[in-house]
Amino acid sequence: MKMERGLLRKGIGGFYYVEAADTIYEAKARGIFRKRGITPLAGDIVDISIEEDGTCTIEEICERKNSLVRPPVANLDQLFLVVSVLHPSPNLLVLDKMLAGAEEKGISPVIVFSKTDLEDCGEYLEIYQKTGIPVLTVSSVTGDGVDRVRELLQGKLSAFSGNSGVGKSSLLNRLDEQLSLPTAEISQKLGRGRHTTRQVELLKLGPDTYVADTPGFSSVDMIQTELIRKENLAHDFREFAPYLDQCRFPSCSHTKEKGCAVLAALQEGKIARSRHQSYVSMYDEIKNIKEWELK
Ligand code: GDP
Ligand code: ZN
């Protein structure tokens, strides 16, 4: 028997596919995981044993940096939040919720404005360039901006999120012709609707470069599972950080208090109004949640 450490690329029907030492092993998980209520996830770093007869077993799951429930994936380095500038038009509150959710989980967000061949995206760039979060623009029709996405993917495990129809599959296909993921037109033919739950699979784009294939998961899935404590929320808006310890009251909620340094930065135009509006809406949604209601 020998042991290898590898990356769990996908799990399906109780079998797990683990990439280790340039090979893909088909493994089963030790019964102990089920007893402990742990499910191996795509993205997990696992130790597998390989018997003489080729039987492989996941013996150990390394501690996760982070994990998501929907889609079920572990150890994401980056989350690309894709928002189309038209068809459909951006919903900035949803985008800001996704951004805060990613920050809360310790996953670096990247904003991608897609379909830039259809509409100018200057007003959105103005808002998001102030946040310090990387902002990219792409068109899968003209190919503009696709190289920059490819650059940011290098050496990382990333996922793409965004509502159905924003152009995620088209972008992934542009990144790697070999992927040929079904885009909207084809998915409909395959009857792959919103309600089909599929396993997450890690697609390999290059050495140490993986993208989680997560069709059928809308951005809303992720938001609902990510409950944020109100005290933490301001920390999930990166551009608020320099001001948070400068408010007059230590318990400042940064929504309406006198002497609030965040509100002052907003007045000076250092923080975009729409970002602060999203913050206030989120704060109002979560402020009455009791400690025991959070997991
Ligand atoms: P997904 O649901 O996010 O994977 O979106 P798809 O990649 O399936 O794209 C949805 C629709 O938008 C399809 O009809 C695509 O042809 C179209 N589309 C995708 N990217 C672009 C783009 O950059 N420009 C334009 N004009 N249309 C696009
Ligand atoms: Zn404040």
pLDDT digits (tens, 9 = 90+) for 111-167: 999 999 999 999 999 999 999 999 999 999 999 999 999 999 999 999 999 888 999
Same domain, 174 and 44: no
Q: Whose CA is nearest to atom 10 of ligand 1?
A: 165
| CATH number of the domain that residue 242 is part of | 1.10.40.50
pLDDT digits (tens, 9 = 90+) for 203-215: 999 999 999 988 6
Question: What is the band of 181 on the pLDDT scale with cuts at 50, 70, 90?
Answer: low
Same domain, 286 and 212: no
pLDDT higher at 294 or 257: 257
Domain boundary among 223, 238, 267: 223
Same domain, 138 and 234: no
Most confident of 184-193, 261-270, 285-294: 261-270
**Ligand 1 site-directed mutation target among 112, 136, 183, 189, most atoms within 8 Å of CB:** 183
Distance 167 CA to ligand 1 centre (A): 4
Same domain, 277 and 155: no
Please choose, from the candidates 41, 176, 149, 159, the residue with its C-alpha nearest in 3D space to the C-alpha of residue 102: 159
Distance 197 CA to ligand 1 centre (A): 21
> Both tokens of residue 277?
């509006």
Distance 223 CA to ligand 2 centre (A): 25
Question: What is the band of 185 on the pLDDT scale with cuts at 50, 70, 90?
Answer: low
Same domain, 119 and 237: no
Same domain, 98 and 235: no
| Residue-range definition of the domain harbouring residue 51 | 2-61
Same domain, 89 and 210: yes
Same domain, 214 and 274: no
Same domain, 217 and 245: no
Distance 233 CA to ligand 2 centre (A): 12
| CATH number of the domain that residue 151 is part of | 3.40.50.300
Ligand 1 atom with the smallest distance to the CA of 87 is 12
Same domain, 135 and 177: yes
For the whole model, what pTM was predicted?
A: 0.90
Same domain, 184 and 125: yes
Average pLDDT for residues 172-192, to the nearest whole number?
64
Ligand 1 interacting residues, C-beta cut-off 6 A: 114-115, 117-118, 139-141, 162, 164-170, 183-184
Same domain, 213 and 76: yes
Number of domains in the chain: 3
Could you give the angle at the alpha carbon of 180 between the alpha carbons of 176 and 185, nearest 5°? 130
Q: Does residue 195 surpass a pLDDT of 50?
A: no
Domain boundary among 11, 46, 61: 61
Question: What is the band of 191 on the pLDDT scale with cuts at 50, 70, 90?
Answer: very low
